[in-house]
Amino acid sequence: MGEAGAVVRVDFVNLESPRCCQCQHPKVNQRLRAVLVSLAGRLAAGALCRRRIGSVQASRRAGLLLSTPCRLYSRLLVSSRTPQEQAPHAEQRSRQGAILAVICVSALVVNVDNTILNVALPTLVRQLRANSSELQWIVDSYAMVFAGLLLVGGSLADRFGRKRFFLIGLTVFAGASTGAGFSGSVSLLIGWRAVMGIGAALTIPASLSIINDVFRVPAERARAIGAWAGTIGLGIAIGPIAGGLLLASFWWGSVFLVNVPIIVAGFVAALVWVPDSKNPAAEQPDPAGGLLSVAGLGLMLWAIIEAPTEGWASGEVIGVGLSSLVVLASFAAWEARSRHPMLRLGLFSDRRFSIAAAGESFGTFGLLGALFVQTQFLQFDLGYSPLQAGLRILPIAIVLVVSAPLSPVVARFIGIKCTAAAGLAAIGGGLWQVSAVASAATTYGDVVPGMLLIGLGAGLLLPTATNSVVGAVPQGDSGVGSASNAVALQVGGALGVAVFGSVLSTRYQDRMTAALAGRHVPTDAVGTILGSLGGALTVAGRAGGATGALLARTARSAFMSGNKASLAVGAVVALVGVFFVLAGLPSRISRPSPEQARSPGAGG
C-alpha cells in the first residue's frame, strides 16, 4: 500500500507540470495540490491496491484519473480569479499585442517597398536616365533575391534564433535602403535593391515564426497571422500614395530613406518586446539550393528583360534562356536528393498546394505587371504628377482591401476552386478591358472599370489561394507553407514585371524605329528615344516646336501600342490560369496529418 501510494505521489508531482496541468499559475497549482493530494492517496491505497495492480500500472491509471479533475478544477479556478490574479494574464495579452504591432509594422515596410517604388519609376527615368530594361531590373532585382533566399532565411531563423535573424534582416534592409536612396547611378541602385531583397528574405520568415511562437492558442494565432498577412493588401493601398507624397516634396531617394526611421523604431521595439526562440531540431539550411534558385530565376529574367534590346532571336538571349532552364532543373534535382531541402518537392503532389501556388503566381503576374506599366501611362502619357498618379491607382487597392475579407464567405458557398477561378477571371477581364481601350486618346476614366476588376480579382484570389497553400501542409509545417506562399507571390510578380515590360518595349521600339527611319537624328538621341517614353519626351522637350510636338505624339502612340500588347498578354496568362485552376484545384480544404502529407498521393 505504501509503495503504491508513494508511486502515485511521485506521479502527482509530475501532474503539476504544464504537460499534465493546463494551468501554469503557481497559486492554482498550490491549491490543486491541497485539494487533490488526498484523492491521490485514496486512489492508490484503496481501489488500485485492492486490485493488486503493479505499482507502475497504478501510477499510470492514477495519472489518467487525476488529469481530468486537474484540468476541470484549473478552469474553475482561472475563471474565478480575482482582478489581482487576472493581472498577469492581461499583461501577457498586452505584451502579445505589442509584439504583433512591431512585427506587422516591420513587415509592412518590406511589403510596401515595391508599390511605393512604382510611382517613382518615371522620376528615375528623368533623374537617372534609366531606360525601360533598367526600370525592370530596379524592380525585379529585389524580387529575384527575395524569392530565391526566402526559404533559406526561414531555416536560418528557426535553427539559430528567430529574433536574431529578424533584427539582422531589419539591419540589412535599413542599410540597403540608405544605399539605394543615395545611389548616383542606375547600376548602384539595382545592386542596393538586391541587397534589400536579402534583408527582406531574412525578416519576413523570421517574423512569421515569431508569431507562431508567441501566439500558442490556435484561434489567437490565426488572428495574428491574418493581421500579418493583411500588411500585403495594406502595402498595395498606401504605397502609391506614400510615394506620391514623398516625391511631391523631396527627391526620388526619399522613397527608400523613409524606410530607415521606421525600421530603427521597429528594431528598438523588437529588442525590448520580442522574445527570442529557436528550434534546435530544425533542419539544416540549404544554401546551395538558395544559390541555384537565385541563379536560375536571374538568368530567366535577364533573357526576358534584355530580349527587346538584344533581339528575341539573338544567340545570347536564347543561350541565357536555355541556361536558366538547365539551372532550374539542377535546382529541382538538388532539392529531390538533398537530405535537408529548402523546398520540399513532395508538397507539390498535393494539388491544393501546387495548383493554388500556381494560381497565385498567375494572379500576381497580372497585378504587378499592370501596376508597372500603368504608373508610367498615368505620368508619361496623361501627364499626372506622382501624387496624382498614386491617387488614381487607389481604386485597385480599395477594391482589393474590401473584397479580400469577403473571399472566405464566397469560398464557403462556392468552394475555393470557383472562388480562385473567379478571381483570376476578374483579373484577366480587367486587363483585357484596359487593353481594349488603350490608344493615344485614352483617358483615366476609360481604364477605371478594368482597374476595379483587377482589384476585385486580386481580393478574391490571393486570400483564397493562400488559405489553400497553407492549409495543404500539416499544422507543424505552417512556416513551410507560408514561406512557399510568399515565394509564389514574388516569382509571379517578378515574371509579370519582366514580361509586361519586355512586350511593351518590343512594340514601342519597333514603332519608333520605323518612325525614325530616314530622319537625321543624332545617334545619342536615337538611343535615348528608343530607351523609354520618358527619354523620348525629354528629347522632344529639348527639340521644341513642331518637331518636338510630332516626336512626343509619335512616342506616346508607340507607348500605348506597347501598353495594349502587354496588357493583352497579361489577360491571356490570367485566363490560362482560370482553366488551370478549374482543372486541378480541389473545391474544399482539409488540413492533412503529417502522415498524409508525406504520402505521394495526398491531396489527389
Judge if 179 and 293 occupy the same domain: no
* Of residues 82 and 291, more confidently modeled: 291
Judge if 442 and 581 occupy the same domain: yes
Domain assignment present for residue 538? The answer is yes
* Of residues 408 and 588, more confidently modeled: 408
Q: Of 25-39, 42-56, 243-257, where does the model show the most confidence? A: 243-257
Average pLDDT along the chain: 79
How many domains does the chain contain in total?
5
Per-residue pLDDT tens digits for 298-313 = 899 889 988 888 888 8
**Whether the predicted pLDDT of 399 surpasses 80:** yes
**Whether the predicted pLDDT of 25 surpasses 80:** no
Residues 361, 569: contact at Cβ < 8 Å? no
Residues 352, 602: contact at Cβ < 8 Å? no
Judge if 324 and 266 occupy the same domain: no
Judge if 270 and 300 occupy the same domain: no
Q: According to the model, what pLDDT value does residue 6 have?
A: 39
Per-residue pLDDT tens digits for 118-173 = 888 888 988 888 888 889 899 889 988 988 888 788 777 777 788 888 899 999 99
Judge if 149 and 249 occupy the same domain: yes
pLDDT band at 397 (very low <50, low <70, confident <90, very high): confident
pLDDT band at 353 (very low <50, low <70, confident <90, very high): confident
**Whether the predicted pLDDT of 357 surpasses 70:** yes
The CATH number linked to 421 is 1.20.1250.20
Q: According to the model, what pLDDT value does residue 68 have?
A: 44
Across the range 283-291, mean pLDDT stands at 80
CA angle 116, 242, 556 (to 5 degrees): 60
In the chain, how long is the greatest CA-to-CA distance? 112
pLDDT band at 249 (very low <50, low <70, confident <90, very high): confident
Q: What is the per-residue burial (b if ≥16 Cβ within 10 Å, else e) of 109-130?
A: bbbbbbbbbbbbbbbbbeebbb
Domain assignment present for residue 597? The answer is no
pTM greater than the 0.85 cutoff: no
Judge if 293 and 167 occupy the same domain: no
For 131, the domain range is 97-281
Across the range 505-519, mean pLDDT stands at 89
What is the spatial distance between Cα 320 and Cα 548, in angstroms, rounded to a whole number? Answer: 39
Contacts of residue 57, Cβ cutoff 8 Å, sequence gap at least 6: none
Domain assignment present for residue 470? The answer is yes
Judge if 362 and 433 occupy the same domain: yes
Per-residue pLDDT tens digits for 415-438 = 889 999 999 999 999 999 999 999
* Of residues 19 and 572, more confidently modeled: 572
Judge if 152 and 258 occupy the same domain: yes
Judge if 528 and 553 occupy the same domain: yes
What is the spatial distance between Cα 71 and Cα 68, in angstroms, rounded to a whole number? Answer: 5
Per-residue pLDDT tens digits for 368-387 = 899 889 988 999 889 899 88
